[in-house]
Each structure stands twice: as C-alpha cells, then as structure tokens.
C-alpha cells in the first residue's frame, strides 16, 4: 500500500486540489491529508471524528472515517466506492466534535477510467492471464496487509518486552535492597548470639569459681576481734567469732538468809548460800531448770 499526501486548508480559498486515483482501486493505497488554517497547522481536537465525504458523477455519495489521526494529520484508505465511477468526485473533509463541525476546502478525487471495465466481455485467450493478474494483485495486497499486521505485532511485542525489562529491573533493585536488609538483620542476630555466648561463658566461669567453697567458724574469747580468711587453694573461708561476755558474777539477795547466783564460763548457773536453802529452791535435773519456792510452795 502506498500513500498520497495532500495539504488542505480549513479556510476555503477557491483553488481546489486534485488527487488522482485509478478506477476500481480498493485498499491498495491511502490518502494522507495535512490540515492547515492559513499557514498554521490545524491540530485535530482530541476525540474528534474526521470524515471524508464525496459525491460521485452518478450522484451517489460516500462517507468514510479516517483510519488514523495524529496532530494535524488524517489518513484514509481508498475504498471501492471512492473509485467505482470514473470522473471527478467532489469531496471535502469534516472534523466533527461533540459541539461543532469544521469543514475544509473542497477537493477533487479525479478517478481515471479503467481501460477495461468489470462488465467487459473478454476473449477466452486473455481471460486466464487477466485472472492470474487479479489473483496476483489480490495476493500481493493480502501479503502487504499481513506484513503490516506482523510489523504492528512485532512493535507491540517489543514495547511489552521493554516494559517487562523495566519492571524486572525495578523488581531486581527491590530484591537487592531487601536482601541487604536481611543480611544486616542476620549480622545483628549473629552478633547478639555471640554476645549472649560470651555472657553465658562468664557466668559459667563465675559459678565454677564458687563451686566447692566451704566455710569454718571458730569461737573466740569475748575480748578478741572478729576475723575472716580465705584459702584459695582449698577454697575455704575461716571465720573467727568472739563469744559474748559473761554476765555479772552473781545476784545476792536477803531472803531468809544470804545466797549468791552466778554463771560460770560454761554457762552453768550456781547458787551458794551460808545456810541450807533446800527448802527454798527446787532443781529439775531433766530440764536443768532451777525454781525458787515461795511461801505457798509454788
């Protein structure tokens, strides 16, 4: 498929461009119009429909939408109805939006008559050659269209591949960042484990140093000072603890006579009297208690 390009103005000037086509042309070429408003490119509004309207010499008409629009460009495929009748076809472009219709300068599609019409009677000797030519042209058109479709598909695949590559690159960067974060966390955990092992070793060493320690206490005289010593070889503490001082050496009281009570160094209690005091004291040998008897015998 080949393309004819024609500048056309949305402001009529009276000079109509002429575009030449061959009778019976159908989907073998395209018409590309560049729209201008005087000397400035006319930008086709977004969402606008661009139509080519035509009146053929037999007073029948056609209207087709552009197959592609971009900026100030509109492209149309040449159809069978555009070239069905030889002669000058009066045409214009219309740009239609929701709120307005913009017409362009009229132009002429000059359809050159085909030397051989579709309804012509062909000699038998020429028919196979013409049919073969028609088949070749049809096959060529189909091949061209397939090539265009394949190129479009390849372009779309390339775009998708580029997008996938960008997404993969972004995902890889995110994965690398996440991996570094996990490595940092792992290092922190390993350091914490090492610190815990060190603390545990220190505690075990301290516990081991206390294992097997014994202590011995010796009683010292009341006047001596307390002592403490440690034998590292045998892991033994030795403490010296002074005994409490003795109390007063006795109590003397006039009660039916004199008697004296005292405690010796062994902690034993004694009573001494100038006369027999057995009627006044009672001793329980099982408990070691000494009782004083009052007048009522208790």
Q: What is the pLDDT of residues 235-254, one digit of tens each?
A: 788 888 887 776 665 555 55
Domain carrying residue 260: 251-292
Kindly report the pTM of this predicted structure. Answer: 0.41
What's the confidence (pLDDT) of residue 125? 53
Phi/psi of residue 28, each to 5°?
Answer: -105, -10
180 occurs within a structural domain: yes
65-115 pLDDT, tens digit per residue, is: 999 999 999 999 999 999 999 999 999 999 999 888 988 889 999 999 988
Residues 267 and 170 in one domain: no
204 occurs within a structural domain: no
Residues 85 and 136 in one domain: no
226 occurs within a structural domain: no
Answer with the one of 63, 81, 116 that is the final residue of a domain. 116
Answer with the one of 81, 116, 151 that is the final residue of a domain. 116
Distance of CA 181 to the CA centre of its chain: 13
Mean pLDDT value across the chain: 82
Kindly tell me if the per-residue pLDDT of 152 is higher than 60: yes
Number of domains the chain is built from: 3
Please check whether residue 93 is in contact with residue 8, taking contact to mean a CB–CB distance below 8 angstroms: yes
Residues 112 and 169 in one domain: no
Domain with residue 79: its CATH number is: 2.60.40.3350
In total, the chain counts a number of residues equal to: 298
Answer with the one of 82, 116, 150 that is the final residue of a domain. 116
Residues 57 and 6 in one domain: yes
Residues 131 and 91 in one domain: no
233 occurs within a structural domain: no
- The strands making up 269-273's β-sheet, listed across from edge to edge, are 251-254, 258-263, 269-273
169 occurs within a structural domain: yes
Residues 32 and 91 in one domain: yes
Q: What average pLDDT does range 205-223 have in this prediction?
A: 78
Residues 30 and 109 in one domain: yes
Residues 105 and 74 in one domain: yes
10 occurs within a structural domain: yes
Confidence of residue 129 (pLDDT cuts 50, 70, 90): low
Q: What is the C-alpha to C-alpha distance for residues 93 and 52, in angstroms, rounded to an integer?
A: 5
Distance of CA 145 to the CA centre of its chain: 45
Take residue 21 and report the two structure tokens written for it.
């086509």
Q: What average pLDDT does range 190-202 have in this prediction?
A: 85
Q: What is the C-alpha to C-alpha distance for residues 255 and 20, in angstroms, rounded to an integer?
A: 164
Tell me the residue ranges of DSSP E strands in the chain: 2-9, 18-22, 29-37, 40-41, 49-55, 61-65, 68-70, 73-77, 87-96, 101-103, 107-112, 214-220, 227-231, 236-242, 251-254, 258-263, 269-273, 281-284, 289-292
Residues 40 and 104 in one domain: yes
265 occurs within a structural domain: yes
Q: What is the C-alpha to C-alpha distance for residues 135 and 141, in angstroms, rounded to an integer?
A: 10
Residues 34 and 132 in one domain: no
What's the confidence (pLDDT) of residue 247? 61
261 occurs within a structural domain: yes
Residues 85 and 49 in one domain: yes
Residues 100 and 167 in one domain: no
């Amino acid at each position: 498929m080949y393309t004819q390009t024609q500048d056309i103005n949305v402001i009529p000037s009276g000079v109509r461009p002429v575009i030449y086509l061959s009778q019976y042309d159908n989907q073998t070429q395209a018409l590309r119009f560049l729209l201008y408003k005087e000397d400035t490119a006319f930008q086709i509004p977004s969402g606008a429909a661009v139509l080519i309207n035509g009146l053929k010499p037999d007073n029948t008409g056609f209207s087709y939408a552009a197959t592609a629009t971009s900026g100030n460009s509109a492209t149309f495929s040449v159809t069978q109805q555009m070239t069905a009748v030889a002669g000058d076809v009066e045409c214009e472009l219309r740009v239609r939006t929701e709120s307005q219709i913009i017409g362009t300068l009229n132009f002429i599609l000059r359809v050159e008559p085909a030397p051989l019409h579709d309804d012509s009677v062909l000699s038998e000797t020429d028919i196979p050659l013409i049919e073969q030519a028609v088949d070749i042209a049809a096959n060529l058109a189909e091949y061209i269209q397939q090539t265009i479709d394949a190129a479009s598909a390849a372009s779309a695949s390339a775009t998708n591949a580029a997008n996938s590559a960008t997404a993969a690159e972004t995902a890889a960067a995110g994965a690398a960042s996440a991996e570094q974060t996990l490595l940092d966390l792992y290092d922190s955990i390993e350091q914490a484990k090492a610190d815990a092992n060190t603390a545990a070793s220190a505690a075990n060493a301290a516990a081991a140093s206390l294992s097997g320690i014994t202590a011995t206490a010796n009683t010292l005289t009341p006047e001596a000072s307390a002592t403490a010593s440690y034998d590292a070889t045998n892991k033994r503490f030795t403490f010296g603890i002074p005994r409490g001082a003795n109390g007063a050496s006795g109590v003397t009281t006039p009660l039916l006579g004199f008697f004296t009570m005292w405690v010796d160094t062994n902690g034993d209690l004694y009573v001494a009297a100038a006369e027999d005091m057995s009627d006044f004291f009672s001793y329980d040998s099982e408990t070691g208690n000494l009782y004083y008897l009052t007048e009522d015998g208790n």
